[in-house]
Amino acid sequence: MAEITFYCKRMIRRILSFLPFVLVVAACYFTAEFYPLSSFPMYSKFDNRTYICYLRDADGNELPTVKSTGIYASELKKRYGDELKDLKKEQDYKGSHFDWTTERKAEAGSEALAYLKEFEKVPQNVELIDRRLYLRNGKIEFEESVVGKN
């Protein structure tokens, strides 16, 4: 009988050790925030427009970014996007760069290509392409323009 009591007490202690976790989950449930089981609200709404950028050679062929430059395509897009933001701040422009002309975006494209020139593996006659993607009438449409050449 003493052994059963000992094992019961031990089991109760183990169950009670999970009590803080259960309380946190209950608090999250009642406050409508499910962290760490969150629904990731940053991904709950997608914009109807976005952009990507990539490299193209003189023949019009898309270049693999990692093989040709040694950096990932996401880093290239981030660099180009940062240059667009910097240009927007310098010119104290209040609108979106989606409204800009190709000529206006070209300065940011040239700066992004200058960043790529720091890598020795960048081929000659490379173009930086800005492709804008739009969701219109349930279909994805795109526009692209050359924003930089080396």
What span, in angstroms and rounded, lies between the C-alpha atoms of 55 and 141? 20
Structural contact between residues 95 and 108, judged by C-beta atoms closer than 8 angstroms? no
Predicted confidence band of residue 1 (pLDDT cuts 50, 70, 90): low
Contact 122, 68 (CB under 8 A): yes
Domain boundaries in the chain? Answer: 2-41, 46-149
76-124 pLDDT, tens digit each: 999 999 999 999 988 888 788 898 989 989 999 999 998 888 766 677 8
Measured between alpha carbons, how far is residue 24 from residues 19, 21, 32, 42, 52 in Å?
A: 9, 5, 12, 22, 40
CA dist 58 and 126 (Å) reads: 6
User: Looking at the predicted structure, is the pLDDT value of residue 146 above 80?
Assistant: yes
Report the SS3 class of residue 130: strand
Q: Name the residue type at position 67.
A: K
pLDDT tens digits along 31-55: 665 555 555 555 556 789 999 999 9
What pTM did the predictor assign? 0.68
